Amino acid sequence: MGLRKRKPARGQVLVLFAMLIPVIVLFFLFALGLASLLDARAHAADALSVATRAGARQVEYAAYGQPGMQFSTPVLTETVRTVFSDSLALRTAGLADTPAQIAAGSEIVLGYGSPASPWTSPFLAGRPHPHPTVAARAHVPIRVWMFDLTVSIVSETEVK
């Protein structure tokens, strides 16, 4: 009498699949939540970069535009916050706060850099800017399932 391989009982296979299904579902939900987080972060980063570009364009027009036009830092700050808020408002999915509240809490700095005296950003150390630079940092609260996470986003745009 030789040893024969036994097939697993039908019930054992069903129990194995019954145990794997919740694991697969949890993995899928985790992947979906991570994708949602990354999507909201990417949208907020894009909105902040659009806002700093708008601020840099305003600095460029004030510096090289019409004669006698003076540049105003409060106007720049308001422009960057307004554009950031409006850009965030285009798609609010995943945000845990209103776009206006997120924009109001953002930090905006104008650095007066030149080739002779580069400006170093307070947000990204060790990165000198040889031109005037509009820099902004925003703390964006994102809601994924029942969790609220806050990501910091930095954008810097040089005026050339």
Residues written for the chain? 160
Report if residue 142 sits inside a domain: yes
Domain total in the chain: 1
Per-residue confidence of the chain (160 residues) as pLDDT tens digits?
567 777 666 667 777 778 888 889 999 999 999 998 999 999 999 999 999 999 988 887 766 545 555 567 788 899 999 999 999 999 888 898 999 999 999 999 988 888 898 989 889 888 889 988 899 999 999 998 888 999 999 999 998 7
Report if residue 30 sits inside a domain: yes
Report if residue 71 sits inside a domain: yes
Spatial contact of 124 and 154, defined as CB atoms under 8 Å apart: yes
Q: Which residue has the tokens 């036994």?
A: 6
Q: Provide the pLDDT for residue 132.
A: 85
Report if residue 110 sits inside a domain: yes
Domain span including residue 74? 10-158
